[in-house]
Amino acid sequence: MSEHVMVCEVGPRDGLQMAKSVMPTEAKCAWIGALAASGLREIEVGSFVPAKLIPQMADTDAVVRFSRGIPGLTVVALAPNLRGAEAALAAGAHRISIPVSVSEGHSRANLNRSPDEQVAVVAKIVAWMREAGDKAEIEVACSTAFGCSIDGAVPEHAVVRIASALAEAGVSQIALADTVGYANPAQIKSVVRAVRAEIGPVLRGLHLHDTMGLGIANALAGLEAGIRDFDSALAGLGGCPFAPGASGNIVTEDLVFMLESMGFETGIDLAKLIAARGLLHAGLPAEPMHGQLAKAGIPRTFQKAA
């Protein structure tokens, strides 16, 4: 059997938060259903943030509750603080993703807190969940782990320090996020190895953007460094409203094509994944859609991993 790689679709959260219009809830749920039907087993369906800040996420409670009804799907929701975590658990999210910026500038812009203050928030959420006896997982995405459009270069030792503090706080898993898409393959390998040397298997995944056109190359570098869990977005949607210049996530279709072509198993049907683009376009007809596979079509040489 081929080695499995987990692909978490983040389009309904990271993708839609930058959309110029709001996708209707019914259309959003239909799209998530189609994504799950393609074989995606993890989907980040929304974020529990104030609707006045990100109106595209105003219906996250309803979307989480709908998604909970999809058999076999791990429902992920982002929450920046304890109030958001409480709402995510009440709605039924299986995993809560909490952002912690490594760079000071992005942390202040995104959360109005320093990185260390946000680490303390995470520790409080972990303690609260343990007291409550809830079994939902807590994942932390170390944002701007490879560079920041506000502060510039982010030292590797700063990433290791924040990841180590989060592991000590007791989070279930940590992902390294190239929030603004500035990373290169050599940097990906170096930072992954440095963080893993410090925290071991708590480092689980990579969240990559394609601002400089290196997103898929960076995913390959992550694979070579031992990462087997990646975030991506259908049609390459996404970006960060608090990170100037950040563009979309790596394209789910292109990532799955690369993985399966290399012999990794994802459990995802490429034809069904491409078909799900139709529901995305119907819900957000003015939004640009990216991806080389959808443009070229599945080649006749493609063989799905066994």
Residues sharing a CB contact under 8 Å with residue 247, sequence separation 6 or more, in sequence order: 181, 209, 210, 211, 238, 239
Return the residue matching tokens 């990532």: 255
Handedness of CA 240, 244, 248, 249 (dihedral sign): negative
Structure tokens at 112: 């109005």
* Active-site hit among 8, 142, 148, 240: 240
Whether 240 is a known active-site residue: answer yes
Q: Six-digit token pair at 254?
A: 């292109």
Do the beta carbons of residue 269 and residue 38 sit within 8 Å? yes
Strands (E), the chain: 6-9, 42-47, 74-78, 95-101, 137-143, 173-178, 203-208, 229-232
- Name the token pair of 103: 């760079």
- Whether 290 contacts 248, CB under 8 Å: yes
- Rounded Cα–Cα distance for residues 120 and 115 (Å): 9
Please, are residues 38 and 70 in contact by the beta-carbon 8 Å criterion? no
The single-letter DSSP state of residue 208 is E
Instruction: Output the six-digit token pair for 150.
Output: 């506000």
List active site positions. 240
